[in-house]
Structure 1
Amino acid sequence: MPRPQAASVLVLPSPFFSDSDTIRLLEPADCDTRDVLRQVVSGEYDRPFVIDDGSTRTLHFSLSLIQSTMSLKDPFALELDYTQAMMSFLLFLARPQHIFMLGLGGGSLAKFCWRHVGSARITVVEIDPDVIAFRDEFELPPDGPRLAVIEGDGAAHVQALSATGEKPDVIMMDAFDRHGLAGSVSSVDFYESVLRALAGRGIMVANLAGEGADRVEHLAMIGEVFDDRVLSLSLPDGNDIVLAFKNPAFAPRWRDVATQAKALRARTGLDFPKFAQRLERNSRLRYF
């Protein structure tokens, strides 16, 4: 039986934390709110939802999985460490013309790029219409000349890029559902399609999370397809951020990267020097 589509976001008192918190759901106003909240608490609820505690707004696929976090005081900031680390591609490609994202979430990366990477047109492909339905809750700018959010399978869109001749400079992969990494991005064929789709000096940035064995498997596939032109960051929260480079002559000049890191920190506020130091260290240790 298909799920009813909500005309708007339903805001209710949250069943968690303090009485002032709210939970936002894609349910009709005349739904059985008590039963819906029971499903959320028990883990039976199978749609994304948003919890607002007055200072942050978080997108959940389940109670145990926070997919995105937004500060209400600074909606364009990157609150989660892994999203900050994913921006480290700017150390190697300062002025991308087209950034192609797989997975919208709460739109944190799209918003940050929209504000701080003025050279770039941003395309986001999100398979779940329920996630897209929350875009206004996370203050994502409307679609326009520099931003487009498309409902669809990101892996299929990457494969189609080669046929259209479109060559993104950056492909960012943050493609998760409530079960982990989406199956459509979990193959050598997918990573080969990414390699084909990228511009000549293009970079793929992937967020790998979940079971350790799954991360190792993806790292191996990426290394195989990109001929080990790979840099990585392992974060304390269990995420691995992987940068893979299409250019066969890729060889980072770490002094230049360090200079770029300082300029990026001054412009965006993110600790790019830390990312640069850790990427260089891992490169010298051959850790990826």
Structure 2
Amino acid sequence: MSRPAAVLVLPSPFFSDSDTIRLLEPADCDTQWILRQVVSGAYDKPFVIDDGTTRTLHFSLSLIQSTMSLKDPFALELAYTQAMMSFLLFLPRPRQILMLGLGGGSLAKFCYRQVGSARITVVEIDPHVIAFRDQFELPPDDGRLQVIEGDGADHVLRSAGWEERPDVIMMDAFDRHGLSGSVSSTYFYQNVHDALAGRGVMVANLAGDKADREDHLAMIAEVFDDRLLTMAIPDGNDIVLAFRAPSFAPRWRDIANQAKALRARSGLDFPKFAERLERSRRLRYV
């Protein structure tokens, strides 16, 4: 793998004059041509916009992939990332978390700080996304965190042979065109099911075209025999939790108590997540 270019910081062509745009380009590049490519939508690499308050990772101007507060880099700024943490209601002390897709590292950072029981492996196919990890203050790899360049679907297939399988598989695998093609099949979701530990949970972020989201929901429901819960997020995302254990039968009163404890510890609105997930189960959303 070739070494990515250094991060080039330029005045942003958007919004206010104080904003900056960060690109993976050499210092001697034609900056005006690069900025025109970004504005036109022809630029084919991720880039970062910093407005002095937040730092956002973009695949295009219309698609914000990740957002970080500069005052609180470990916080989850986007509603869908907060909702993805609802797996803790059912599995509060996972030992292994496998994440498919790094983005700006929001979920990896949050789990690193808040889920001390877990070792976290992140698989990201785009080396340019990984190259921005320092811009988003992702901790360096250590005994609890590892970021790997590779195809998440291939990694899932291999993880089925691990001695200690993932308790949680988190899927947030998007590129500039939407959900990655390698995660868009029943075969992929069957591999996820088979790779999970016995009481494991898959958490998937589905976004984009409504028909595509419905197709993914149908595939997940088929593979996991309808053992799933869903949350619709106002910004257009659907969060899906799917459970491997055939005996899946949530005890909502216990989960409500767990939600209060998690809110006190993390600051996220876990009671709201629990209510919405219980409603989806009761109404048999799928």
TM-score bracket for the superposition, by shorter chain length: over 0.9
Q: Among the aligned pairs, what percent are the same residue?
A: 79
What is the number of residues matched between the two proteins? 286
Q: Which amino acid aligns with 1:91?
A: L
What's the TM-score once normalised by structure 1's chain length?
0.98
- Measure, in 2, the Cα distance between the counterparts of 1:42 and 1:165: 48
Q: CA RMSD in A?
A: 1.1
- The answer for the alignment partner of 2:63 in structure 1 is 65
Give the aligned partner of residue 191 of structure 2.
193
Alignment of 1:77-96 (within 5 A): 77-96=75-94
Secondary structure of 1:19 counterpart: coil
> 2:4, 2:127 within 8 Å by CA — same for their partners in 1?
no
Q: Please report how far the alpha carbon of residue 282 of structure 1 lies from its aligned counterpart in structure 2 after TM superposition.
A: 1.2
| Structure 1 unaligned spans of 5+ | none
1:110 to 98, 108, 111: 108
Q: Distance between the aligned counterparts of 2:159 and 2:136, measured in 1?
A: 28
Q: Could you give the per-residue CA deviations for residues 216-260 of structure 1, whole angstroms, max 9, x where no partner exists?
A: 000000000000000000111110000000000010000000000
> 3-state SS of the aligned residue for 1:150?
strand
Query: How far is the alpha carbon of 1:7 from its aligned partner?
Result: 3.5
Match of 1:209 in 2: 207
Paired AA for residue 119 in structure 2 = R
Q: Deviations over 1:23-71 (max 9, x none)?
A: 0000000000000000000000000000000000000000000000000
Shift of 1:164: 3.4
> 1:237 and 1:162 mapped to 2: Cα distance?
34
Task: Calculate the TM-score normalised by the size of structure 2.
Answer: 0.98
Residue 263 (structure 1) aligns with: 261
User: What's the CA shift for 1:139?
Assistant: 0.1
Per-residue displacement from partner, 1:65-114 (whole Å, max 9, x unpaired)? 00000000000000000000000000000000000000000000000000
Given candidates 15, 18, 21, the residue that maps to 2:19 is: 21
Q: Which amino acid aligns with 2:63?
A: L
Cα distance in 2 for residues equivalent to 1:269 and 1:165: 34
Structure 2 alignment gaps of length 5 or more:
none
Contact 1:187–1:221 at 8 Å: present in 2 too?
Answer: yes
Contact 2:4–2:128 (Cα < 8 Å) also in 1: no
- Counting only pairs closer than 5 Å after superposition, residues 1-288 of structure 1 correspond to structure 2 as 6-288=4-286
1:135-188 CA distance string (max 9 Å, x none): 000000000000000000000000011133341000000000000000000000
Q: Is the 8 A contact 2:80 2:237 kept in 1?
A: yes
Which contiguous aligned blocks of 4+ residues in structure 1 show a shift greater than 6 angstroms? none
